[in-house]
């Protein structure tokens, strides 16, 4: 045999990165969604929130997640993260190399996983549209 495989548990939690309890899984037929998101150097997403449970792994670089209330945390290459659900936030690449993020969503058919939202400095009446993240 060429060698043994290795398993390392990266995450086991029922809370998002900010310590909030995760909501229940959505009712209905499950739809699992996997996305690779690439943040160029200096890029940040628009303000948004997630309607479903989602988690991921930073495959390359360092990603800072900033909530609308100013709470933030930086995740480093190889770290797993559980996103906040229902809390407005954005992702930022404050580094000089791209960030590659692999995210996994527990959704249902027809459900929007990510919704555009108002940030701290946005005028009232903007946001609320589905975004592709």
Reading the chain (133 residues) residue by residue, the pLDDT tens digits are 678 999 999 999 999 999 999 999 989 999 999 999 999 999 999 999 999 999 999 999 999 999 999 999 999 999 999 999 999 999 999 999 999 999 999 999 999 999 999 988 644 444 444 445 6
Residues linked to residue 79 through DSSP beta bridges, in sequence order: none
Residue 5 lies in a domain: no
Residues linked to residue 35 through DSSP beta bridges, in sequence order: 103
Q: What are the distances in angstroms from CA 124 to CA 101, 104, 119?
A: 31, 31, 10
Give the separation between CA 2 and CA 81, rounded to whole angstroms: 32
CATH number assigned to the domain comprising residue 40 = 2.60.120.10
Handedness of CA 96, 8, 20, 110 (dihedral sign): positive
**Count of the separate structural domains present in the chain:** 1
Residue 60 lies in a domain: yes
The boundaries of the domain holding residue 49 are: 32-116
């Amino acid at each position: 045999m060429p060698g043994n495989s290795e398993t390392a548990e990266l995450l086991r939690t029922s809370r998002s990165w900010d310590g909030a309890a995760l909501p229940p899984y959505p009712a209905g037929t499950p739809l699992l969604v996997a996305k690779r998101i690439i943040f160029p150097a200096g890029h940040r997403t628009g303000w948004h929130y997630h309607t479903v449970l989602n988690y991921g792994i930073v495959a390359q670089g360092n990603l800072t997640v900033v909530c609308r209330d100013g709470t933030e945390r930086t995740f480093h290459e190889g770290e797993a993260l559980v996103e906040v659900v229902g809390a407005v936030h954005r992702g930022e690449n404050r580094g000089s190399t791209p960030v590659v993020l692999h995210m996994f969503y527990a959704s249902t058919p027809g459900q929007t996983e990510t919704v555009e939202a108002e940030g701290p400095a946005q005028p009232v009446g903007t946001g609320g549209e589905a975004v592709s993240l």
